[in-house]
Structure 1
Amino acid sequence: MNQATNLSSPCACGGLMEVQQDFRHLDADALKMRFEQRLADRMSVYASGVWRYQELIAPWIEEEFIVTKLEGNTPLYTANDRLQSYAGVERLQFKAQNHNPSGSFKDNGMTIAVSHGISMGYRHFACASTGNTSSSLAMYASWAGANSHVFVPSHAVSMNKVIQTLAYGSNVYTFDGTYDDGIRYLEQEADALGYYVCNSVNPLRIEGQKSIIFEMAHQLQWHMPDWILVPGGALSNATALGKGLFDLFNVGLINRLPRIAVIQAEGASPFHQYVQRQHAGTTSKEFEPVPSPSTIASALNIGNPPSWRKAYRYLTQLQGVTAAVSDEEIMQAKKIIDASGLGCEPASAVTMAGLRQLIDQQVIDRSEHVVCILTGHLLKDTDAIAQSHTSTLRKLDDLYQHRAAISS
């Protein structure tokens, strides 16, 4: 059992553990046929948009231990005219992970992590979280009949996500500090408490989140876009994006690799700052955490992302770039996404805001095919919506006065 817990502990190099699989025995054409056939499945574990690709994720987990809510199966939307005009690219799509059962992309990784923990005999699961991880973990643990323990900073989190976590029956503990403090606590205490840690420091989470890319490739008939844009908080999604792309390429399911862009909020952008220093030739090239991160995009309010080393490796290999956008840019992009009928939480909107910035900088060409990943549901953070929309509420009397003016 300790073996599973130690998956979330740093290795001797200071980085995180990573799952390495041998795919040499897999045949790309046979896999494509198998994945396509599973699309017709509506009742077994393969109806999940994650477990559909089990051969590339966690083939060793037996079906009796799989905990699934049929997650994944999220749409790949083609931008409407309003979104296309705002972004300024000719071909824009959105991978809407906010359609997952708990309302965020975390479900893709959490189904694998919790299933693995169950297979190892664990009944207590834990995470530190700014919101989406906690609600996802609480949902899966309860679905499995197990217990969840969530450690949430007392400030700069969305109460919607905390309430969702409580509703799923989790034990929620608040503390003074940041997400990073919660991760450190679990690294020190999880074994003694008998907790299976389900943060992105657990490499099984990364394996599950690769399915976002697998499903996207499947939806695009295995032809990848020019660019994929992803929000950058703990950087698990950026890591899973890179790892998943190379898995697809090495197996032969895709024949070219897209470029990636990791977008952070300016107030919580240690990864972007680190990448900028690498390119600028400055004397200080060390990774420097942001001690007091601050952004309206609460899901990205992480000053010391645990997956930065892995994310940087894949960013470099995929000729990727980073960008940091202001809270004002985030909320403006969110308004457009919401008003287009798509909707997302602020952390998701950084991709659209970052896309505009990268187009202005001529990093991304207007003729290129771009996919933005939307990570969280519109109602995950209603405080942000209230701040920007309450003033637009209209009174019924105003309508009557307007009608009277037209009649006269």
Structure 2
Amino acid sequence: MIECVSCNAKYDDNEVIYNCKECGSVLEVVVDIDKSDVPRETFDCRKDVLWKYKEFMPVDETKIVSLDEGGTPFCKCNKLGEKLGIDLYVKVEGSNPTGSFKDRGMSVGMTKAMELGVDTVGCASTGNTSASLAAYAARAGLRCVVLLPSGKVALGKLAQAMFHGAEVLSVNGNFDEALETVTALALEKHLYLLNSINPYRLEGQKSIGFEVVHELGWKSPDRIVLPVGNAGNISAIWKGITEFHNAGYIEDLPMMTGIQAEGAAPIANSFRKNTMDMVPVQDPETIATAIRIGAPVSSIKALRAIYDSNGYAETVNDDEILAAQLDLARYEGIGVEPASAASIAGVKKLVEEGVVDKGEQVVCIVTGHLLKDPNTAINACTEPIEIDADVEALKKILLNK
């Protein structure tokens, strides 16, 4: 069953619908499973991918479209954690097949597309969604159309979308305008929309929450921190963890903490005013292209996740993001794109502000791989030292160091 998050209107699972017909709000898929029906030991002996939790995925498992997404590294970050004074873990979503967390949602969303029998899928994107959609559409054998804001997409992501065969259209406008355009096409039934406004996309992304509590020994961390752009991921992870809590698998719940770039922070602005109303940011701007979104479609879901979990929202500037990106790479060997580093930058800021207590167990979700935005990574580094191919010259450099 699909349900409106605002007025609770209900819709059939097989109805192609993106917003509530009664009030226009966003929708979510209702999943209700008890541990007496599916004991948590069920998951322990399965392959470590998203579909190990298939009972919680509300789609036809005979139609699954998968690239073995999920089961991403869960790294204990002792050096960086010690520096910040917290018990820090990082969930490395850049290890998914196309290099971002979007693969989880795309697997379930594309499976639903196959179930519905559509022939064309589409999205608007700041990059990662288009890369993922293109790969999964190729896997499923469906036509793929993506709309990207002109000049606003990192090279690695654009290359992926084109290489996997998507029909890429460059829109003279920002992401929000591109999404409005492609949504209109979807409502006219020209394509099946797989942005996060599609409730089945978030059903895949909630598996991040499943994996976090499973890997911690069926316990919730004190806090989960992640970047917020279109705002689907924070609400998806909260949905997954509350589903496990309602099923009786875990006892505690985490504080959901969303981090936005200062130039694209409508969710954080709403949180500061303690309101559910979201005022879009016109012409959002940040080096973190993946979260350069001014009118997130899942703002209601995201704010509810934050408020219901006694969580928090904060902003970080581009300099703080780039510094955190380097810290994560050089302290822990984990390379992420700038948007991913917003979660690390946010934790650092919240520790300094006293919002995050010393000793808290914190899980940061880093959403995309370093090579999604290679130019930013290159610009952050110094030029290589040129030397002759000579042992003595090399020794001189090493001894001077």
TM over 0.5: yes
Matches of 2:207 and 2:384 in 1, distance apart?
Answer: 40
Gaps of 5+ in 1: 40-46, 280-284
- 116 and 404 in structure 1: CA distance in 2 versus 1, 3 angstrom threshold: closer
After superposition, the C-alpha distances for 1:167-225 in whole angstroms (9 at most, x for unaligned) are 11111001111111111112211243531100000000111111011011111111111
Which one of the candidate residues 166, 169, 174 is aligned to 2:165?
169
Deviation at 1:396, TM superposition (A): 1.8
Q: 2-side partners of 1:245 and 1:182: how far apart? A: 32
Q: Give me the whole-angstrom Cα distance separating, in 1, the residues matched to 2:151 and 2:70.
A: 30
Q: Would you say how many aligned residue pairs link Structure 1 and Structure 2? A: 386
Aligned runs of 1:275-286 on 2, under 5 Å?
A: 275-278=271-274, 286=277
Counterpart Cα distance in 2 of 1:251 and 1:32: 9
Distance 1:116 1:374 in 2: 26
> Which one has the bigger helix percentage?
1
The 5-angstrom pairing of residues 9-408 of structure 1 reads 9-23=19-33, 26-27=34-35, 30-39=38-47, 49-58=49-58, 60-63=59-62, 65-81=63-79, 83-86=80-83, 88-192=84-188, 194-278=190-274, 286-339=277-330, 340-389=332-381, 391-396=382-387, 403-404=395-396
Instruction: Tell me how far 1:97 sits from its aligned partner.
Output: 0.9
Q: Decide whether the 8 Å contact of 2:387 with 2:394 is kept in 1.
A: no
Q: Distance in 1 between matches of 2:61 and 2:253?
A: 32
Q: CA separation of 1:363/1:34 partners in 2, compared to 1, >3 Å: closer, same or farther? A: same
Corresponding position of 2:4: none
Q: Deviations over 1:45-101 (max 9, x none)?
A: xx6x2211111121x4131x11011110101100042x2244x13311001111100
Structure 2 CA distance, aligned partners of 1:219 and 1:314?
22
* More deviation, 291-300/395-404: 395-404
Give 1:294's aligned amino acid: E
CA distance in 2, matches of 1:269, 1:162: 24
Identity among equivalent positions (%) equals 37
- 1-structure distance, mates of 2:138, 2:367: 22
What letter is aligned with 1:250? Answer: N
Taking structure 2 as the reference length, the TM-score comes to 0.91
**RMSD after superposition:** 2.1
User: Could you say if the C-alpha distance between residues 28 and 331 of structure 1 is closer, same or farther in structure 2, counting changes exceeding 3 Å?
Assistant: farther
The residue type paired with residue 51 of structure 1 is W
Q: CA 1:388–1:9 in 2, change beyond 3 Å: closer, same or farther?
A: same
The TM-score, its normalising length taken from structure 1, stands at 0.90
Separation (CA, whole Å) in 2 of partners of 1:351 and 1:28 = 36
Alpha carbons of 1:120 and 1:223: their partners in 2 closer, same or farther (altered >3 Å)?
Answer: same
Residues 35 and 76 (structure 1 numbering): CA distance in 2 closer, same or farther, change over 3 Å?
Answer: same
- Structure 1 runs, 4 residues or longer, greater than 4 Å off: 2-5, 397-402, 404-407
Q: Distance in 1 between matches of 2:21 and 2:94?
A: 32
